[in-house]
């Protein structure tokens, strides 16, 4: 008879295994987020490709303590087919599962912090992974990312990024795809803070001014001697609200590469980028130009759960032990018509002005109006090559 009140008390207190360690940041149990905002999250993102432009894998796992959920996803594009596997579960209210980083049959093991990870998906809906990530350079701590709408905060996050190589196997419907570090590369990041997650909350008063769009570029690239992480965000009139351009060398030296000038090339009649020229400046004042091209695109809002995805979103409660597989045909007009209304990740190939070759992520979104690009509203598309 006395057990239940005691259990309720322990659940309320929230003390869990992580509280044994001196890693607290605020005066509360570690299972409780430092913010009561429903949109608090802690998530990782990883991608892998073999440089051919034939296959692109994107995956990630997230915890949403104020929603009581955790989930993971895998996106795989080959040809026009983009396959998504989603898994979800209840998060442990005491945070005992934070170190395990597991959702159902999906898990991420930290073999060596900030250097080596293992990503495993036991066969789920015909898809399985057993992959080991090794960072080629130290991680890059990005600038804090903050977005506001009116007086409210829609995003307030910290992130680190890294480029590296992969080894292991991807299995799709009984067919194994070998992954070797001499060919397979990728990028990853981990971020935490506040951003829209889960079910859409009540709208409240319309925002003032209304959201007219944003322009976004994210390019972490791996070269033999160095890596770059370029992040740019602009408002509809071209005002730059985030400018972070970092180069890291093998010996750990970190350089800022100034205020990049960017010219994105779009496929006529679309907002799908085919590449970009990014002009940077070294600390000594010398120009450093990257010519980037897209080898294969994966729209993150088509099965990936990112903004604008109508089928699934991060943190959404689907029930404990949830899993599903959805395959999209990107040439289907109903799917293709959605592409310019979200963020798209591309297998990126780059050549710098010294002739060095790099591979990594070319992530871009031109949402709504962007005056420097000539996009007057949400539906304007790029013209011909001379436009």
Residue 13's pLDDT band (cuts 50, 70, 90): low
The neighbour count for residue 336, using CB atoms within 10 Å, is: 17
Q: Over the stretch 78-99, which tens digit does the pLDDT of each residue have? A: 999 999 999 999 999 988 899 8
Distance between terminal CA atoms of the chain? 77
Helix (H, G, I), strand (E, B) or coil at 68: coil
Mean pLDDT confidence for 361-377: 97
The dihedral region occupied by 371, where left means phi > 0, alpha psi between -120 and 50, and beta the remainder, is alpha
What is the CATH number that goes with domain 38-199+211-373? Answer: 2.40.370.10
pLDDT, position 210 = 84
Q: In sequence order, what are the residues at sequence separation of 6 or more whose Cβ sits closer than 8 angstroms to the Cβ of residue 381? A: 266, 268, 269, 270, 271, 340, 375
Q: Over the stretch 290-314, which tens digit does the pLDDT of each residue have? A: 999 999 999 999 999 999 899 999 9
Two structure tokens written together for 189? 């990041």
- Going by DSSP bridges, is the β-strand pair 240-249/254-256 parallel, antiparallel, or unpaired? antiparallel
Domain ranges within the chain, ordered by starting residue: 38-199+211-373
- Specify the residue for token string 């990870």: 117
Q: Over the stretch 28-41, which tens digit does the pLDDT of each residue have? A: 898 999 999 999 99
Residue 358's pLDDT band (cuts 50, 70, 90): very high
pTM: 0.94
> Which range, of 132-141, 173-182, 202-211, averages the lowest pLDDT?
202-211
Two structure tokens written together for 241? 């609200």
Sign for the pseudo-dihedral over CA of 367, 369, 374, 376 = positive
What is d(CA 120, CA 105) in angstroms, rounded to the nearest whole number?
8
Indicate if the pLDDT at residue 223 is higher than 50: yes
Residue 30 near residue 24 (C-beta atoms within 8 A)? yes
Comparing 148 with 315, the larger pLDDT belongs to 315
Q: Which of 263, 279, 284, 283 is nearest to 382 (CA)?
A: 263
Residue 384's pLDDT band (cuts 50, 70, 90): low
- Specify the residue for token string 């045909």: 329
pLDDT, position 12 = 52
């Amino acid at each position: 008879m006395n057990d239940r009140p005691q259990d309720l008390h322990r659940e309320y207190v929230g003390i869990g295994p992580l509280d044994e360690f001196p890693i607290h940041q605020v005066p509360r149990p570690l299972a409780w987020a430092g913010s009561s905002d429903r949109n608090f999250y802690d998530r990782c993102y990883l991608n892998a490709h073999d440089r051919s432009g034939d296959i692109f894998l994107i995956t990630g796992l997230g915890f949403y303590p104020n929603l009581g959920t955790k989930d993971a996803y895998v996106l795989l594009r080959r040809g026009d087919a983009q396959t998504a596997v989603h898994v979800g579960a209840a998060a442990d209210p005491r945070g005992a599962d934070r170190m395990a980083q597991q959702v159902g049959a999906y898990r991420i093991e930290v073999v060596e912090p900030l250097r080596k990870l293992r990503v495993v998906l036991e066969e789920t809906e015909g898809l399985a992974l057993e992959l080991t990530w090794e960072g080629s350079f130290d991680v890059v701590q990005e600038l804090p990312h903050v977005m506001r709408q009116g007086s409210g905060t829609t995003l307030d996050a910290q992130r680190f990024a890294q480029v590296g190589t992969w080894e292991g196997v991807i299995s799709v419907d009984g067919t194994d795809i070998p992954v070797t570090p001499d060919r397979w590369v990728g990028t990853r990041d981990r971020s935490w803070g506040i951003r829209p997650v889960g079910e859409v909350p009540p709208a409240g008063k319309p925002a003032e001014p209304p959201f007219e769009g944003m322009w976004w570029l994210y390019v972490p690239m791996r070269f033999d001697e160095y890596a770059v992480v370029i992040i740019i965000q602009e408002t509809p009139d071209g005002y730059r609200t985030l400018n972070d351009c970092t180069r890291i060398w093998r010996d750990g030296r970190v350089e800022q590469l100034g205020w990049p000038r960017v010219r994105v090339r779009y496929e006529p009649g679309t907002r799908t980028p085919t590449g970009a020229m990014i002009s940077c400046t070294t600390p000594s004042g010398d120009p450093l130009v990257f010519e980037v091209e897209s080898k294969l695109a994966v729209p993150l809002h088509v099965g990936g759960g990112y903004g604008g995805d109508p089928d699934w979103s991060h943190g959404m409660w689907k029930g404990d032990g949830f899993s599903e597989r959805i395959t999209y045909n990107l040439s289907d007009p109903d799917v293709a018509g959605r592409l310019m209304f979200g963020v798209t990740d591309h297998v990126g190939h780059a050549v710098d002005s010294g002739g060095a070759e790099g591979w990594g992520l070319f992530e871009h979104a031109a949402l709504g109006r962007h005056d420097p690009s000539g996009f007057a509203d949400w539906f304007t598309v790029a013209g011909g090559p001379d436009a």
